[in-house]
């Protein structure tokens, strides 16, 4: 992975608002090497800085700076466990569907009625 890609990611992140995480559809739209990195982090669940450095073939400063930007934008989360710091991709919550709220109450009523034999 070339250092230019981290810079490209940095430029893209600078132009973005803070997000509630990455959707899987967002992942598909990432440029190849970054997508590979994100796919790998999702599969691994959580990884340490040194593991990311090794995977991306980047030095500590470039990797730490990239992670800080991702943290700031809400795309990565960081947690500490037993003295080690782990990073993980923040996946965006699945968005709700835009349907009228009362449609489900109506459906439940219909099903209850059907089960009660009131509707043939």
Residue from 11, 15, 94, 118 binding another protein (CB under 8 A): 94
Q: Residue 101, interface with another protein (CB under 8 A)?
A: yes
46-83 as b/e: b if 16+ CB within 10 A: bbebebbbebbebeeebbeebbebbeebbbbeeeeeee
Burial class (CB in 10 A: 0-12, 13-18, 19+), 92: middle
81, containing H or E segment: strand 76-81
Residue from 11, 96, 116, 117 binding another protein (CB under 8 A): 96
Please choose, out of 1-9, 11-19, 58-66, 102-110, the segment that lies near another protein by the rule CB under 8 A: 102-110
Q: Residue 90, interface with another protein (CB under 8 A)?
A: yes
> Which residues in the 44-63 window bind another protein by CB under 8 A?
45
Residue from 15, 17, 43, 83 binding another protein (CB under 8 A): 43
- Residue 115 CB, shortest distance to another protein, in Å, is 11
For tokens 């803070």, the residue is 18
Burial class (CB in 10 A: 0-12, 13-18, 19+), 40: middle
The residues binding another protein (CB under 8 A) are 21, 23-25, 27-28, 35-36, 39-40, 42-43, 45, 88, 90-97, 99, 101, 104, 107-108, 111
């Amino acid at each position: 992975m070339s250092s230019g890609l981290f810079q490209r990611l940095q430029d893209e992140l600078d132009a973005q608002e803070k997000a509630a995480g990455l959707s899987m559809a967002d992942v598909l739209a990432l440029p190849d090497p970054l997508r590979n990195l994100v796919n790998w982090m999702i599969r691994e669940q959580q990884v340490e800085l040194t593991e990311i450095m090794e995977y991306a073939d980047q030095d500590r400063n470039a990797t730490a700076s990239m992670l800080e930007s991702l943290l700031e934008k809400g795309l990565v989360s960081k947690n500490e466990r037993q003295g080690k710091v782990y990073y993980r991709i923040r996946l965006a919550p699945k968005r709700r569907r835009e349907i009228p709220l009362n449609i489900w109450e109506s459906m439940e009523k219909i099903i209850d009625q059907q089960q009660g034999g009131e509707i043939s």
